Amino acid sequence: MPHSPTIMPSSLLRFATAGSVDDGKSTLIGRLLVDARGVYQDQIDALRSASPEGKLDLALVTDGLKAEREQGITIDVAYRYFNTARRKFIIADTPGHEQYTRNMATGASTAQLVLLLIDARKGVITQTRRHAFIASLLGIQRFVIAVNKIDLVDFSQAVFEKIRADFESFAVRLSIPSLDFIPVSALYGDNVISRSPRTPWYHGPSLLDQLETSYVDGDRNLIDFRFPVQWVIRAQRRAYAGQLHSGVVRPGDAVVVLPSMRRSVVRRIVTWEGNLSEAFAPMSVALELEDELDVGRGDLIVRTDNIPTLTNHLEAMAVWMGDDPLDTDRTYLLKHTTRLVKARVDTLRYATDVNTLRRTQPETLSLNGIGRLAISTHQPLFVDHYNQNRHQGCFILIDPDTHHTVAAGMILDRQSSEPSSQHSDSDFSGAPGFPSPPAAPQLLTPVGSRVGPGERAQLLGHRPLTVWLTGLSGAGKSTIARELEARLFGEQVQVSRLDGDNLRGGLNRDLGFSAADRSENIRRAAEVARLFNDAGAVVLVACIAPYAADRQRARATIGARRFMEVHIHAPLEVCERRDPKGLYRRARQGLLQDFTGVDAPYEEPRNPDLRLDTSERDLQSCLDRLIRAVLERIRPVGD
């Protein structure tokens, strides 16, 4: 059973810059480093002496190659490190030129956040879209869009809002759960370290504030324990060194070594500082096992009750990085974690146009092309899909003649309908925060379906999901659910909506509003949503669901992989001003008892999948963010 360790919020943020040539990436990072005192004074003096007329060229802080300084562009990825009182940072300043897109993908591959620059004079262009698409494919959850050179358009709010609208209309089909926009002038420092008085219309944080407060610990996969062995240490006892790609491990845990399938128990967790009582991703440790097993580099240690998929047939989205185009008649080398195997690309299923995100059918993939591949490996691999586990779900293809990396791939979830390979949603039941649902009476025998989830997903073109909208009365749950239903239907999604009032008017008309009846109301709604999900549909549930425990039980009933909690937030005073049904007025007059927010509690979600504040954002903005997040879950780009 997976553990949930106590982890303090991360003090380290890895982020990458992205954007087109001359958008000002290097200048912005230079400004950030200089103003945040991330560069020593002697370095600044040396750069100033190397700059024309003795004026400090901020781009030289990161553009260190001679060719970069001569051409005024970034060619290779430049890594810089700095820290503030609140956080440490690792920056990957990546190239903007189309020729070096592969370097951009390399720099962004380990990032937790992408800082995407847009020239205020040019707006959203092809390279902007290409970098955004690649970053979303790489599973980066947080985007900060810096509209740079705002000084060259007279700090125009209209220009800023136009760029925001253009990018959001493109990003609605990408996997970007968190999207923030900041107007900046890298040259003069406006809104970089502190808010600028020259943009009085902008009320958000400065760039540094945004970077210091972005929460990224929630991106960690602490459920699926994956430990690829990198090195065998031979001392008094054999120990196996490596980095935890995901999950948590403790002494006493039952584990299995893949591919040998030999079982053992973790005896000790060893580090230079001493033995540990637990380790979690991304720590580097050595594991001692109770049994002396034949374990070597390339083997994978996992928990006995949570084994990844064994396959030699991969479906993957890939960014082609080779100068020579994809050749389906060639044999490549495929590197997955610490394993290296021979592989062939069986089929190029399609490529993706980065401007329109439409699928095309070219004969091959060329440099910077992005497409879906069907790949066969000479030896089977144990894999997870990329959205579940970034480390275990990625690979690179290598030209065996030149040893150059020719492609980076992200493994897709095929959702096989064969019972032996299905990923059961019940894997999450019983985990901390996901209580196991009550057992069915012994006289009942659940009857399974002969139609598998993969077959339903293939027919419908999407996966099932329950979108649970919770919030106070008047926050906007039902309004958003209705509009979301129409938007998803327009996207050819099989969608149904369960509204709290509709349920109480029929299925749950026998229930009152006591705490017990509220819990039963939510239990029934969750059971109905689960049945809809089993049929392959997307379900929108709009219920107040005031108690956190009830929402956790709903998640366990439906399955964590098919559950998305969305907190529709508005302050109580805002909800009371709206009062669309007159319920708050009646509750204040004593005509309604146990009304949530007045004389009954509402327990706000602590870590919802998405939080929408309807007092700060309009309906359209909330819908755009929500539909992006939903489409990411049910129909990942390229899947």
Q: What is the pLDDT of residue 512?
A: 81
Distances in Å between the Cα of 127 and the Cα atoms of 108, 131, 310, 354, 404 are: 15, 6, 37, 9, 24
Q: What is the pLDDT of residue 420?
A: 31
Find the range with the poorest average confidence among 92-96, 464-468, 497-501: 92-96
User: Kindly report the CA angle at 473 between 468 and 474, in degrees rounded to 5?
Assistant: 105
DSSP 82-109: EE-SS-EEEEEE---SGGGHHHHHHHHT
What are the structural domains of the chain?
12-217 (3.40.50.300), 226-303 (2.40.30.10), 309-414 (2.40.30.10), 460-634 (3.40.50.300)
Which among 497, 498, 525 is positioned nearest to 511, based on CA atoms? 525
Six token digits for residue 584: 């708050």
Confidence category of residue 115, pLDDT binned at 50, 70, 90: very high
Q: What is the pLDDT of residue 382?
A: 87
Task: Compare 25 and 226 and report the one with higher pLDDT.
Answer: 226
Six token digits for residue 382: 């144990």
Total residues found in the chain within this entry: 639
> In this structure, what DSSP letter does residue 561 have?
G
* 492 has a pLDDT exceeding 50: yes
Q: What is the pLDDT of residue 440?
A: 41
Q: What is the pLDDT of residue 156?
A: 96
Q: What is the pLDDT of residue 48?
A: 64
Task: Compare 274 and 438 and report the one with higher pLDDT.
Answer: 274
Confidence category of residue 483, pLDDT binned at 50, 70, 90: very high
Q: What is the pLDDT of residue 243?
A: 92
Task: Compare 49 and 126 and report the one with higher pLDDT.
Answer: 126
Which among 325, 368, 410, 395 is positioned nearest to 96, based on CA atoms? 368
Q: What is the pLDDT of residue 433?
A: 30
User: Kindly report the CA angle at 134 between 131 and 136, in degrees rounded to 5?
Assistant: 110
In angstroms, rounded to a whole number, what is the distance separating the alpha carbons of residues 625 and 632? 11
HSE at residue 294, side-chain half, CA atoms within 13 A, is 3
Q: What is the pLDDT of residue 165?
A: 92
Q: What is the pLDDT of residue 529?
A: 93
* 434 has a pLDDT exceeding 70: no
pLDDT, average across residues 51-71:
53
pLDDT, average across residues 597-623:
88
Q: What is the pLDDT of residue 241?
A: 94
Find the range with the poorest average confidence among 90-104, 305-319, 448-462: 90-104
In angstroms, rounded to a whole number, what is the distance separating the alpha carbons of residues 149 and 160? 11
Which among 90, 88, 32, 89 is positioned nearest to 59, based on CA atoms? 32
Q: What is the pLDDT of residue 345?
A: 93
CB contact at 8 A, 557 and 563: no
Confidence category of residue 131, pLDDT binned at 50, 70, 90: confident
* 119 has a pLDDT exceeding 90: yes
Six token digits for residue 281: 């991703």
Q: What is the pLDDT of residue 67?
A: 40
pLDDT, average across residues 354-366:
86
DSSP 103-156: HHHHHHTT-SEEEEEEETTT-S-HHHHHHHHHHHHTT--EEEEEEE-GGGGTT-
In angstroms, rounded to a whole number, what is the distance separating the alpha carbons of residues 111 and 114? 7
pLDDT, average across residues 410-437:
41
- How many Cβ atoms are within 10 Å of 338's Cβ, its own excluded? 16
Q: Using one digit for the tens of pLDDT, what is the confidence trace for 306-350? A: 888 888 889 999 989 888 999 988 999 999 988 899 999 988 989
Q: What is the pLDDT of residue 606?
A: 83
Query: CB-based burial of residue 196 (10 Å sphere; 0-12 exposed, 13-18 middle, 19+ buried)?
Result: buried
Q: What is the pLDDT of residue 51?
A: 61
* 96 has a pLDDT exceeding 80: no
Which among 464, 323, 313 is positioned nearest to 380, based on CA atoms? 313
Q: What is the pLDDT of residue 24?
A: 83
pLDDT mean across residues, the chain: 82
In angstroms, rounded to a whole number, what is the distance separating the alpha carbons of residues 436 and 567? 23
Q: What is the pLDDT of residue 152?
A: 95
Q: What is the pLDDT of residue 38?
A: 64
